[in-house]
Structure 1
Amino acid sequence: MSEKDIDPNKYSEFRSAYNYYIDSYNTLYRLKTENEEELNRIYKIIKTELIDSNKHSPQRILQNILDIIPYNSRYTKSYLKLAERLYDEYHITEVNDIKDISNHNFYKEYEIQLNKYSDFDKFVSENTIYGAIMFNDIEKFIPFTEREGFNKNQELKSKLYPDSDKGYSLLELCCYHGSVDCFKLLRTKFNSEITQTCLNLSFLGGNPEIMSECLKYQKPRDECMKYAIISHNIDFVTFLMYEYNIKIDVEYCGLYKNLESFLVYFDKTNDINKCFIYSAMFDVTSLCEYFLSRGANMNFKNEDRKTVLHYAAQFCRKEIMELFIPHGAYINEKDKYGKTALYYALRSSNKEIVAFLLSYGATIFPKRRNGKKALHLAVKYSSKEIVELFLHFGANISEEDLFKKPLSIMQQYIIEKKQPNFLFHMVQISMKNLT
């Protein structure tokens, strides 16, 4: 890592204090093995450094592991094995806010994960050009390019890859996987175009030859920094920062658990308030305490007018929220979309966080810009228990939205959650609240 403009004493102090966190997540994001012994070693690191020693919840670690897959899909099955081991050892029955996966028993979620990533088995078990690229198997790759009717401009859309709605070209897939041999053949034989996406994805693939070639044709942009952060390669991050003056996006650092890049940003800028806002995303209470001790403004807002409490609620950090309330956090503060911390807790369907916010005065009555009240959102995003919690705190099942239409809470819950027995139960609760 470059030491340019970085105070080695200050940075080293932070790096040492959070070494366990940084090294653990670097290991996960940079995983490059299917070997059982190596996976056992990685699992022990997770268990010892994150869960047992530092009290990070197994549910949250499992969620984080599954969220890595689109950015390192070559090792999908390795991530799923780690996730399954967490379930088995810690008896996890519910995981909140996993993208595109139902919130039920983990074995069911595990089946859905395998369905979601069924492309992986297809690529590996069948003789496909995508499998050849994934494993940089040039001997299998060449025959595909020599077939009659081979389309050098074909594109792939797959949930195995991030943001692939528009499709990725063969060369872009080579950049994602770091498949340098397949990359060179496409360039020499077909003169495949090096796109901006090629350069972006090369920071995930991490192959120096591919990255160097892409830099001859494209200039790095902010998206490159995003993928450099996700790669957990600090050399890539500092390269973009110093050579191309691209700022480290500290929100991405929080989303993808890159505390090392976050600390580099803080060391370079000393922006206490901005770093404080995103510190809650790491689930490290002492980090938040540090910024508070340095005079961070509890209710400082970012460009989206979100405060640190919004992020603590969004990422279900109850212990951190307990730290913020005595320091004067505005519990009903709205961001630029009219969303309070309670909204983000509802989206995460976390009963504990919702109960905490309600107990400290989070209001269930103000509407968002689209006219939806908190109870509407509880019905849409949350569980029966959270809806009951709202009614306990005085929510009205006949609330109207922006279009003056009653919520019809029982009907909507039946439609959203497919629980017809809830109708009678809700009537009972509503009548009890009226008496």
Structure 2
Amino acid sequence: MDKIDRYNELRSKYKYHIDSYNTLYQLNTEDDEGLSTIYKIIQTNLIDSMKYHPENIIKDILDIIPYNNCYEMSYLKLAKLITDEYQVKEVKNLPDISNHLFYKEYGINLSGSNDFDEFNSENIDIYSENTIYNAIMKNDLKRFIIFTERDEFDEDQRLQSKLFPQSSNGYSLLELCCYYGAADCFKLLRTKFNSEITETCLEFSFLGKNPEIMSECLKYQKPNQECMKYTIISHKIDFVTFLMNEYDIRIDLRQCGGYNNLESLLVYFDKTALHYLIGYCFIYSACFNIPSLCEYFISLGTNIIVKDGREALYNAVKYNNKEVVECLLSHGANFYKRQKHQTPILYYAIITNKNKEMAELLISHGANIDERDNDGETIFDIAFKEFEKNRYIVELLISLGAHFNPNFYLINAASSNNLEKIKFLASYNIDLNAKNLRGETSLHIAFQNYFKEITEFFISHGANINEKNQYGETVLHIASDKNNKEMLEYLITHGSDVNAKDRDFKTALHHSTYFKNNILLNFLFCMVQILMQKIKMGKQLFIMQCIILIKKWPSFFFHMVQALTKKMGKEKLLFILQHLKMIKI
């Protein structure tokens, strides 16, 4: 088969796939009848015929919005038609802006994310009639002139909005004209304000698809690789070949996969005769959920699956194409020797796509669920860091047999004040008294940071309140160091041993003496009161003027503490420091 025949044959074979995505990326209607027609094309050509998953199609549709945002509502309506027809409740790996727009319009949270605060009205609602951006979008020269003649008009203003491709500096008015193909507004800015034609102007002109603007921009800027990116996104194959032939700019096959432009991949394939470049086509053919396309490239060389199968397999998993993964595995592709820079393949199946079936398929073919990445972390480590967001993933990993040491993660959860993590781990066989390398239990760590709710949870679930760290300190020692009266009372009433000694033979009371202030007096007084209550000695004796009492009769006060603890069967308190120095205010 010669080159012309192979291109035409493949273009014809995958015509419905190519034409469907061309229609989506070049969408230019807000009419409900027109959108209904496009929906039927998608349903027939992609979902029914090619067995594309509806949730993947929804993601593809919503991902287009930043590159054709004047038809934002049309994309949202198409996505809604699919969610209604196929009862789609979740779309994995959906960008936050897409999820926010869909939620704002229909009240449906497709990704489960609640990070909506960052999308304020200023950078989202730019389409209202009273904005200059609306005039540019509609190429309404009369309204645009009115805006430019106002006293407050700033010709150098820039728009920062998540509805456009990401930019740290926002976009100028002339760049927006190029994005929307607004030729009349473009000419006015050039003639009246001499607005500069930037690289972004030329790049956006391939999205706006206005030949007049594109031609003017080419006079001042030379096309670059970013121009090819936006040309691939525009799905205008004549623009692609123009950049290839006139400026020798290569087609980035990674972007062909990312923006569903199979036709550009076929053009690249048509232009090359080098075997290693054919392998490159094979690698990125896996981005499209078309097993027969992968098989076509495999048929071109007996070693292609050995040389490039791993990379193709990675792409198929990244793009959540289970049928392609099955195809590649059946032809002998493997993932055992990943390159140093590569993330373990299960990361994409589980963390990125939350696809249990894909994960089970890979594990059944030898994928190691406990494999560590270049930072020494397992997939479980990564997921557990953001437990609230990834709880489903954490539970999925455990169900798939991931190994994890709950005691290690318990220490981590205690240090980060994460009660949800701790409650989750408590449902497994954990040792609440497990220690880190410093001999600290989770209770020690929680108490050092004064995480009150977590401290109370540990104690109420059986953590040893008198467990010691490497310095022989209990949490009562720590509380004494921190002069925390509230927690001192709590610990004593929950069985903390006031006579426990650290490795220097000091009790918690000794620790308190290093802080010569009213906290010490409160602590001592509190102990007397609590101990008296425990042995039913009646009313508290020191409700009024307790500090005066301690100052006047310190010996009596210390005697009371010792006597009361002795009555309770405790070891006599040791007071090494002089009494008067200990209680000096």
Which TM-score applies when normalising by structure 2? 0.66
The partner residue of 2:333 within 324, 329, 335 is 329
Tell me the equivalent position of 1:355. Answer: 360
Equivalent-residue separation in structure 1 for 2:429 and 2:312 (angstroms): 38
**Local SS of the residue matching 1:372:** coil
Q: 1:233-292, CA deviations, whole angstroms, 9 ceiling, x for partnerless residues?
A: 001000000000001111101100001111000111143210111111111111011111
1:54 paired to 2:50: yes
- Partner-residue secondary structure (3-state), 2:215: helix
The aligned counterpart of 1:403 is none
Structure 2 counterpart of 1:289, one-letter code: E
Structure 1 residue 341 and structure 2 residue 345: aligned? yes
Matches within 5 A, 1:208-219: 208-219=211-222
1:349 to 1:208, Cα distance in 2 relative to 1, 3 A = same
In structure 1, the gaps of 5 or more residues are 1-5, 401-405, 429-435
Give the Cα–Cα distance (whole angstroms) in 2 for the partners of residues 191 and 114 of structure 1: 39
Structure 2 partner of 1:81: 77
Structure with greater contact order relative to length (CA < 8 Å, sep ≥ 6): 1
Does 1:17 pair with 2:24? no
CA contact (8 A) 1:157 1:166 kept: yes
Counterparts of 1:380 and 1:298, CA distance in 2: 36
Matched, 1:98 2:94: yes
Residues 134 and 417 (structure 1), Cα distance of their counterparts in 2 relative to 1, 3 Å cut: farther
What amino acid does structure 2 have at the position aligned with 1:391? I
Q: 2:371 aligned to 366, 369, 372, which one?
A: 366
What per-residue deviation string (whole Å, max 9, x for no partner) do you get for residues 284-306 of structure 1? 1110111111125225359xxx7
Deviation at 1:9, TM superposition (A): 2.1
Paired position in structure 2 for 1:423 = 425
Letter in 1 for 2:213: I
Does the 8 A contact of 2:92 with 2:354 survive in 1?
yes
Instruction: Specify the alignment match of 1:390 in structure 2.
Output: 397
Structure 1 residues 380 and 334: alpha-carbon distance in aligned structure 2, compared to 1, 3 A threshold: farther
Letter matched to residue 109 of structure 1: N
Contact 1:133 1:179 in 2 (8 A): yes
Task: Please say if residues 123 and 162 of structure 2, whose CA atoms lie closer than 8 Å, have aligned partners that are also in contact.
Answer: no
CA contact (8 A) 1:230 1:258 kept: yes
Cα separation, 1, equivalents of 2:161 and 2:144: 19
Tell me, what secondary structure is at the counterpart of 2:165?
coil
1:288 matched to which residue of 2? 294
Measure the CA separation in 1 of the matches of 2:37 and 2:412: 50
The yes-or-no answer on 1:310 pairing with 2:314 is yes
RMSD: 3.0
Q: Deviations over 1:6-37 (max 9, x none)?
A: 94322111110000000000000000010111
**Residues 1:395 and 1:262: Cα distance change in structure 2 (over 3 Å):** same
1:109 counterpart residue number: 109
Deviation at 1:417, TM superposition (A): 11
Distance 1:69 1:426 in 2: 44
* Contact residue 124 and residue 163 of structure 2 kept, 8 A: no
Give distance in 2, aligned partners of 1:146 and 1:264.
Answer: 48
8 Å Cα contact 1:132-1:141 kept in structure 2: yes
What amino acid maps onto 1:390 in structure 2? L
* 1:348 Cα offset (Å): 2.1
Pick from 198, 221, 225: which aligns with 2:224? 221
Question: Of 142, 145, 158, which residue of structure 1 is paired with 2:145?
Answer: 142
Contact 1:299/1:307 (CA < 8 Å) preserved in 2?
no
Match of 1:93, SS state, is coil
The C-alpha deviation readout for 1:84-130, integer Å capped at 9, x for no partner, is 01000000011111112669998523698999595687322240111
Partner Cα separation in structure 1 for residue 222 and residue 282 of structure 2: 31
1:202 aligns with 2:198: no
SS at match of 1:193: coil
Q: How many Å separate the matches in 2 of 1:211 and 1:385?
A: 48
Asked if 1:235 is matched to 2:241, the reply is: no
SS in 2 for 1:298: helix
Match of 2:186 among 183, 188, 209: 183
Q: 376, 379, 393: which one pairs with 2:381?
A: 376
* Distance across 2 between alignment mates of 1:23 and 1:114: 35
Distance, in Å, in 2 between the alignment partners of 1:81 and 1:415 is 42
Partner AA of 1:205 in structure 2: G
Q: Deviations over 1:357-390 (max 9, x none)?
A: 2222111233212221121134357854543343
Q: Distance in 2 between matches of 1:283 and 1:213?
A: 39
Cα contact 2:340–2:374 (8 A) shared by 1 = no
Separation (CA, whole Å) in 2 of partners of 1:375 and 1:95: 22
Q: Which residue of 1 aligns with 2:283?
A: 277
Q: 1:38 to 1:420 in 2, by over 3 A?
A: farther
CA distance in 2, matches of 1:351, 1:316: 11
Instruction: Give 1:27's aligned amino acid.
Output: T
Query: How far apart are 1:310 and its partner, in Å?
Result: 1.1
Q: 5+ residue gaps in structure 2?
A: 431-585
Distance 2:417 2:355 in 1: 21
CA distance in 2, matches of 1:167, 1:417: 40
Distance 1:29 1:39, change over 3 A: same
**Matched residues, number:** 414
Counting aligned pairs with the same residue, the percent is 51
Kept in 1, the 8 Å contact 2:406–2:429? The answer is no
Aligned letter for 1:164? S
Larger radius of gyration: 2
**Amino acid in structure 2 at the alignment position of 1:275:** C
SS at structure 2 position matched to 1:109: coil
